[in-house]
Structure 1
């Protein structure tokens, strides 16, 4: 629905208002002199009121309603992005759009082959007037391959304009190719104030090294409302460890991501310092560590005075020993843990999360190493060939003389693009565990036992399979009859999102 305030010139144009100024109507009446020429171009002949109605609809369509309010959508293609796409149609459309400040509160700056010129960047910030901003400095999704020697200079020019308006920013997101192109928090953001900033994201695809900047003893960047922080490893170690530890001052921070460190030599970053900084943060609930190379600055197994409490954790592309150490330092039973492309066979700590998801694990990995004594409820596997019949046999065999089942608490099983198992053996495992669970005094019905803790083994009440092996009609009927929730699709494949953006500290682990 079109907002009346955008169409009524009598409304005051104060802060937060979307009202166009009166020059819009002067612009419209000035175009009437060339009405005859305009009739040959229907776009140019549209009345200002109709243009505003169209643009308001496009603006509303670009917004998303979330639990924390209405926000700009982040999944729109750059080629159709509002207001940049309609502003490129003709000068009249651009003039109309430029006079509604609210349209320009999402500032998108491209640093790829179709980069945004500095003059245009300045205009976007000016057209937003004094409203709060969401700034995105990015490349087109198809331009993250190859070589771009000019990316660093383009990002530097965009950053220079950004910091002049950082006091108005609600979110800042960099998504570039090289780590050397990212701004330096230590220097570019030094002595800046960002009272409205809730999300800061510095993301790159490749760590191409670069000389570390000189340390500042009294570094300061005030962002008291920051909730979500995503940093490359170099920026993290510049401002979040040792003397500076910025995390201690971010009392509202709930989500932290550290990514991309692949040094050309054997030298890595210090795992102990990273985890110590996380531990000293007052309220981090979600932790993500991606594509990091650590060094053994000291024997990890002797450092046992770190205790981290989290709600959810995402670990990607880490060495097996690193994975094991991190799991050992998380003392609380987090709700969800997601592990992607990490060796798990060398892990000497059992997972304690309520839900565990494994992504892209090879067939030679042994799921029982971290899961043998795991008592969580939800197990998810995506593109993981290590989910096979041997694992199912371990889940259904409590031993000849005792009932010490592996994964004894599992009630929900999600399988996506896993085909190296037998549906008949899966059925046997479900049936065996179900029969033993029925002996419990707590058993009533599948739907009434979801929240019970069974002393021997829990019944599996939900199975969801996407892209699985063929399932016979009889087995399908059996699963449907004996499970509270059942879904099996042999055809649909799953595409895993490359980059998670868990605003407000929330992350779905699937």
Structure 2
């Protein structure tokens, strides 16, 4: 029997949607499915995707309120962006905004998504789009970073990097975008491409909490504007952390020490100074005596010094008088990284920190470790370190010791587990030690570690929490981490 057909009353033909598809080999009503793309995802689903991606990029999880900005107080909700690989193609918000036009339009309609901005100065596209990206956050506080995708960019071309940064400084604007930064980072190749602290920041940044000015290669003092006038106003009243290159640091002490001292006073908690070469730059800044920085160091609780060729010894009568009046620095924490042996020894003699971290510094001239409670030695590798440590650690009265990537041997551990003489009579070496951390020290043996644990437990007492050893990445230990307590 023939199939009944419903004809179109106007054309007298069978409608296309009701035509039989004989190509499939049997009678059925068939409709070709429509092609779908990623742009066809519903708006509600996209909103959830973007909000989830944003919440994963920060420490604080947001609720359904998109704003995150208290207009009455003029502040952001308390959240911080998580540490990310800035070279990742999925970097928020740039990864999602690059998928398609629809996604880009939706992403750019939410100002909160654009409160973390990266300007990659080795990519023309990034520099050209920086003005538009900065406007997307409206008037919200922002975290702004100028950096490179390739660490080797501009290694042999400081003039190009400097010229690009001059253009970028005009984009970010002294009275517009920088004024609403809570974190401002310059992570460049050359120190000569950085702004000059005394002249290029002559405007207020009332909510700036972290300022980072880092140049991987010491190439002299920077400066990105024609302004040479130095004003002594306090433009960063909320500053908590200052990371500054050594050339800017020396320039500030020589030309405006009172401004720098005021800058690093409360509420600044951390001062990091890195990379200074007295012979670098078109006009070398020359020799700098480390004691001239002590009035600045007195204003901070936590101090980090990295790759600084500061002089440690006075050469004139005036310098000797200044050194004679220098007070011991009372700090919560100090970190010394890649300093010379004489400079390391001088600083160890002139500070009294609660905790101390020494990285890649030779200890030949050090007479004693000044840390009152915690000491960490890292990446100290040279012949003769073990006997030096035996001598330096035996009288040390701290409670926590970490040795990471150090060329120690079993004799150091035997010393820690042995009795020694002191002004108080016979007592354990490192008498107050309660926590020992050994990380990636391949030459220690399991037998000596066991001896150390038994020896100290026997000498110190029967409290099971008295002494502990954490071992990680050391040969001879099957487990990744081994903890001894009351062995």
TM range (shorter): 0.7 to 0.9
Q: Could you tell me how far apart the structure 2 residues matched to 1:204 and 1:94 are?
A: 33
Q: Is the 8 A contact 1:195 1:223 kept in 2?
A: yes
Q: Which residue of 2 aligns with 1:445?
A: 463
Q: Is the 8 A contact 2:453 2:486 kept in 1?
A: no
Q: Which residue of 1 aligns with 2:449?
A: 426
Counterpart of 2:381 (choices 362, 365, 381) is 362
Describe the superposition over 1:151-192 as per-residue Cα deviations: whole angstroms up to 9, x where unpaired: 2222222222223311111001111111111111222111x1
Once the two structures are TM-superposed, the CA of residue 115 in structure 1 deviates from its matched residue by 4.3
Q: Is the 8 A contact 2:215 2:275 kept in 1?
A: yes
Once the two structures are TM-superposed, the CA of residue 253 in structure 1 deviates from its matched residue by 0.5
Counterpart of 2:39 (choices 41, 44, 49) is 44
Once the two structures are TM-superposed, the CA of residue 404 in structure 1 deviates from its matched residue by 3.9
Q: Could you tell me how far apart the structure 2 residues matched to 1:321 and 1:50 are?
A: 62
Aligned: 1:374 with 2:396? yes
SS at match of 2:198: helix
Counterpart of 1:75 (choices 79, 84, 88) is 84
Q: Could you tell me how far apart the structure 2 residues matched to 1:55 and 1:127 are?
A: 16
Cα distance change on mapping 1:230 and 1:384 into 2, 3 Å: same
Once the two structures are TM-superposed, the CA of residue 296 in structure 1 deviates from its matched residue by 4.6
Q: Which residue of 2 aligns with 1:95?
A: 105
Counterpart of 2:147 (choices 138, 147, 165) is 138
Aligned: 1:184 with 2:196? yes
Q: Could you tell me how far apart the structure 2 residues matched to 1:59 and 1:378 are?
A: 39
Q: Which residue of 2 aligns with 1:353?
A: 372
Cα distance change on mapping 1:425 and 1:384 into 2, 3 Å: same
TM-score of the aligned structures, taking structure 1 as reference length: 0.74
Q: Which residue of 2 aligns with 1:295?
A: 311
Q: Is the 8 A contact 1:418 1:468 kept in 2?
A: yes
Aligned: 1:57 with 2:68? no
Q: Is the 8 A contact 1:87 1:94 kept in 2?
A: yes
Matches within 5 A, 1:221-370: 222-240=235-253, 243-249=257-263, 250-264=265-279, 267-279=286-298, 281=299, 284-296=300-312, 298=314, 302-331=323-352, 333-334=353-354, 336-363=355-382, 364-365=384-385, 366-370=388-392
Q: Could you tell me how far apart the structure 1 residues matched to 2:292 and 2:192 are?
A: 23
Larger relative contact order (C-alpha < 8 A, sep ≥ 6)? 1
User: Where does structure 1 lack aligned partners over 5 or more consecutive residues?
Assistant: 1-38, 439-443, 451-460, 484-510
Q: Could you tell me how far apart the structure 1 residues matched to 2:417 and 2:59 are?
A: 45
Q: Which residue of 2 aligns with 1:198?
A: 209
Q: Is the 8 A contact 2:464 2:485 kept in 1?
A: no
Once the two structures are TM-superposed, the CA of residue 377 in structure 1 deviates from its matched residue by 0.9
TM-score of the aligned structures, taking structure 2 as reference length: 0.78
Aligned: 1:106 with 2:116? yes
Q: Is the 8 A contact 1:356 1:378 kept in 2?
A: yes
Aligned: 1:147 with 2:150? no
SS at match of 2:251: helix
Q: Is the 8 A contact 1:110 1:138 kept in 2?
A: yes
SS at match of 2:344: helix
CA RMSD, 1 decimal = 2.9
Q: Which residue of 1 aligns with 2:469?
A: 463
Q: Could you tell me how far apart the structure 2 residues matched to 1:315 and 1:465 are?
A: 24
User: Where does structure 2 lack aligned partners over 5 or more consecutive residues?
Assistant: 1-33, 62-76
Counterpart of 1:435 (choices 458, 466, 469) is 458
Q: Could you tell me how far apart the structure 2 residues matched to 1:328 and 1:261 are?
A: 22
Once the two structures are TM-superposed, the CA of residue 378 in structure 1 deviates from its matched residue by 0.8
Cα distance change on mapping 1:311 and 1:210 into 2, 3 Å: closer
Give the greater-gyration-radius structure (CA): 2
Describe the superposition over 1:367-392 as per-residue Cα deviations: whole angstroms up to 9, x where unpaired: 1354232111111011111x212222
Matches within 5 A, 1:470-489: 470-471=476-477, 480=484, 482-483=486-487
Describe the superposition over 1:132-152 as per-residue Cα deviations: whole angstroms up to 9, x where unpaired: 001111122654685344322
SS at match of 1:171: strand
Cα distance change on mapping 1:86 and 1:374 into 2, 3 Å: same
Count of residues paired in the alignment: 416
Cα distance change on mapping 1:272 and 1:115 into 2, 3 Å: farther
Q: Could you tell me how far apart the structure 1 residues matched to 2:207 and 2:221 are?
A: 31
Q: Could you tell me how far apart the structure 2 residues matched to 1:121 and 1:289 are?
A: 33
Q: Could you tell me how far apart the structure 2 residues matched to 1:91 and 1:264 are?
A: 51
Once the two structures are TM-superposed, the CA of residue 361 in structure 1 deviates from its matched residue by 0.6
Once the two structures are TM-superposed, the CA of residue 342 in structure 1 deviates from its matched residue by 0.6
Cα distance change on mapping 1:141 and 1:411 into 2, 3 Å: farther
Q: Could you tell me how far apart the structure 1 residues matched to 2:136 and 2:258 are?
A: 36
Q: Is the 8 A contact 2:421 2:427 kept in 1?
A: no
